[in-house]
């Protein structure tokens, strides 16, 4: 294996991290590739190019201070003048390690990610980490209702599959509240039965019947975060 990659997670079986761990980030010296161009000893101002690494991270998620999931798309930009780049699988594993970690705010989460990456890649200029999409409405088809903000303030979320949390709305004096509606959640996270790594998706539910309590549907989708299985099943 190439110098600097012998201990990298790439190409190896990896467990799914459930605890925040900045040590999962793996630095790869840029000098490895630049040696082929006879540029390994050049200072930043001497390089015949400029640029940056741009990562679009579609599987970023953490818990807010109340323990409720946030799912976002991140853009990470790292200057080409840093001594190291970050190995791709290690970045994925690192982001997975945030899935059950609570942050006081999204700003604190972004600052933490930025600091961890800066420590990994080195250099004077810190990476740029930006949330590209955080609004479920941007992902939700028209005429569908997103339930991702319907957790219920009085309920602690559980992350082990539990269909008993599903419920319907209380009937009115005229009987059950029968509706026809389309509900969607973008918080589905399960584990691939082959790799053991997280798969992300959206659940779209169209039905007619007694109105489903939307908070209970959101809690149920979140309870699948440790469930193993293909989404197609």
Identify whether 116 is a catalytic site residue: no
Identify whether 57 is a catalytic site residue: no
d(CA 142, CA 160): 31
From 80, 146, 199, 213, the catalytic residue: 199
Vertex 226 angle, CA 220 and 231, to 5°: 75
Q: Distance of alpha carbon 136 from its chain centroid, rounded? A: 14
Please state, as a whole number, how many other Cβ atoms lie within 10 Å of the Cβ of residue 220: 21
Of the candidates 129, 92, 98, 93, the residue with the CA atom closest to the CA atom of residue 111: 129
φ/ψ (deg, to 5) at 115: -65, -40
From 64, 192, 213, 218, the catalytic residue: 192
| Residue positions annotated with a catalytic role | 192, 199
């Amino acid at each position: 294996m190439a110098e600097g990659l012998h201990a990298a997670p790439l190409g190896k079986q990896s467990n799914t991290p459930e605890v925040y761990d900045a040590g999962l980030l793996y630095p790869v010296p840029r000098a490895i590739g630049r040696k082929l161009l006879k540029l390994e000893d050049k200072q930043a101002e001497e390089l015949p190019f400029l640029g940056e690494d741009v990562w679009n991270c579609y599987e970023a998620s953490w818990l807010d201070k109340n323990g409720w999931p946030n799912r976002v798309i991140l853009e990470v930009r790292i200057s080409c003048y840093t001594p190291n780049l970050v190995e791709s699988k290690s970045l994925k594993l690192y982001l997975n390690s945030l899935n059950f970690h609570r942050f006081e705010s999204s700003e604190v989460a972004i600052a933490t990610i930025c600091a961890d990456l800066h420590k990994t890649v080195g250099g004077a200029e810190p990476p740029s980490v930006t949330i590209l999409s955080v609004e479920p409405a941007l992902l939700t088809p028209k005429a569908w209702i997103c339930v991702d903000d319907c957790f219920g303030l009085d309920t602690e979320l559980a992350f082990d599959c539990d269909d008993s949390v599903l419920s319907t709305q209380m009937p009115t004096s005229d009987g059950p509240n029968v509706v026809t509606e389309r509900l969607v959640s973008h918080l589905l996270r399960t584990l691939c039965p082959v790799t053991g790594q997280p798969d992300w998706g959206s659940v779209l539910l169209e039905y007619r019947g007694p109105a489903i309590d939307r908070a209970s549907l959101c809690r149920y989708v979140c309870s699948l975060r440790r469930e193993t299985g293909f989404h197609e099943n």
